[in-house]
Structure 1
């Protein structure tokens, strides 16, 4: 089993915070920049924690059982819960409920972000099959690029949208593979240089990446908008590289502080935040919009309070048997 790396938790925690900023609407202009690498960073971070030595699961059945518990249980628990809330309060129709079982990348009740859970589930399954069937790295590269091409093409050229975000999963397999490969090669000199850039190099790369992002269309894996595909891939890689280095800085200098440990916790419990953030944000925005606090200030407060509320809920539930609803094992 892989040793957990705290800077990868920071990396994923920052990704969750970026996602919540978009849901709060605190920096709408920044979504153009964030969408270029935000979803790829989640796929890549998951690949970094892949079972590289193939020792964690002794069979495909156990692998599926583990992933279903960790991903499918929270998907349906919170998908159904928020559908019921949506139906009772807003009169949501049955079509929103049915989306949980088919095309789920739009139109879900309140917690639209859980589409990612079905996508990452497919990524896990597909990549497990690839990694256990093929040992040659070059063949793996060819295969994941082929899957990326299929995932991109079937919607862009044929208008086909597969159930449970399978289109997006095939795209995500490429970034998952990049995360896995980065872990395997992390002791190689070239990877060490890329993952340990100094401040100036990181800043220059961030500027270059930012310019290239705005040269492309606004990318969004959920909506399958990639713009110029080679530019999308370059921007995703540059964005992830910049933020992996920033994550290392945060972990190095603030990892033992409350803020550092908090961001690490967000990353370790990313599914909890994914499932709860939109519901809590909706409630808090409703409360603050009834008050006299200015828009941007209220949204900033809502973001902070949402993070704190979810942290408290996770800590409260984590020592009980109810933790299973977050995809965790029985206490």
Structure 2
């Protein structure tokens, strides 16, 4: 079982590096490309891991997923809030609302607001919980693949209509979950039909997907003027959005299965929730302070956005290794684990 999932852990690891790079100061064209598929990719991989037989009823589902997703979300949100208080005390954050607002906002979780000014990328974990809940209910109601597919499309359409009507972010990113559940479902079905689909995994198909992704992402940006961004409720042209997302996922899947085993990528993938939770608001902030004081004035090369973005990304990946060790061995409850038992399921896609 472990060998069969190595590619998936590596894929999540590479995907997480793309997420981190997307949060760094990189050129707009590169960020636009990454955003065409990197969030849909994570929902797709999460769907691949979902096993409906593990949840005989809604009560069992809610208990298990609360433990593995909601509890880590709350724990890391508390860490983010405490860090927010520290940077606020030292005048390093522009914030003028009540200091208790972000703490309460952790439970409300409305992205792009003062409720979540502290939490950064953690919106994804709450959204993933809602996405999985939607998919669980759809799978129980639909029962057959055809009915499940119909309900997934229906909910995705509703989500896109709400988005295009200027719908404001909903608590726990329910508005995004209505769209992301489609990618989650595709990941679930891919697992079922992977033997048939993997006949098409070859270099020509990779190039085809890559070209479609690049073209669709480019025209979507040119026609609408906005890059795809789930956090900012931006999809652009719906048809081009889905073309870029699915082709990007397809190219990524073919590419990651051709990469030789990478322990570094697998390590990041297995601990992706820690990297997601801590890199943006905490580690990037600390790297920025060090860069401004000791590096930027002395090394002109770092002024190049691509170099700077890569430096932030890989420095954060390395710096977070001690945090991963400490959390896994001494604070396992933050990951929804009781005790210090070791498990490969230490990541945001526990299923």
Same fold (TM over 0.5): yes
Residue 9 of structure 1 aligns with which residue? 9
Residue 249 of structure 2 aligns with which residue? 240
* Residues 298 and 137 of structure 1, relative CA distance in 2, 3 Å threshold: closer
Pick aligned residue for 2:326 from 303, 316, 319: 316
Pick aligned residue for 1:302 from 312, 329, 341: 312
Indicate if the aligned counterparts of 1:82 and 1:109 stay in contact, CA closer than 8 A. Answer: no
Residues in 2 aligned to 1:126 and 1:302: alpha-carbon distance in whole angstroms = 35
* Residues 71 and 230 of structure 1, relative CA distance in 2, 3 Å threshold: same
1:51 equivalenced with 2:56 (yes/no): no
TM-score (norm 1): 0.88
Cα deviation for residue 164 of structure 1 reads 1.0
* 1:205-244 paired onto structure 2 within 5 Å: 205-217=209-221, 218-244=227-253
Residues in 2 aligned to 1:286 and 1:94: alpha-carbon distance in whole angstroms = 26
* 1:86-125 paired onto structure 2 within 5 Å: 86-90=84-88, 92=95, 93-107=99-113, 108-125=116-133
Structure 2 unaligned residues grouped into runs of 5+: 90-94, 222-226, 341-351
Choose 113-122 or 125-134, whichever is displaced more: 125-134
Counting matched residue pairs gives 317
Structure 1 unaligned residues grouped into runs of 5+: none
* 1:1-331 paired onto structure 2 within 5 Å: 5-52=5-52, 54=53, 56-90=54-88, 92=95, 93-107=99-113, 108-157=116-165, 159-188=167-196, 191-194=197-200, 196-198=201-203, 200-217=204-221, 218-250=227-259, 253=260, 255=261, 260-278=262-280, 279-291=282-294, 292-293=298-299, 294-296=302-304, 297-320=307-330, 322-331=331-340
* 3-state SS of 1:223 partner: coil
Residues in 2 aligned to 1:249 and 1:203: alpha-carbon distance in whole angstroms = 13
Residues in 2 aligned to 1:43 and 1:34: alpha-carbon distance in whole angstroms = 15
Residues in 2 aligned to 1:151 and 1:71: alpha-carbon distance in whole angstroms = 23
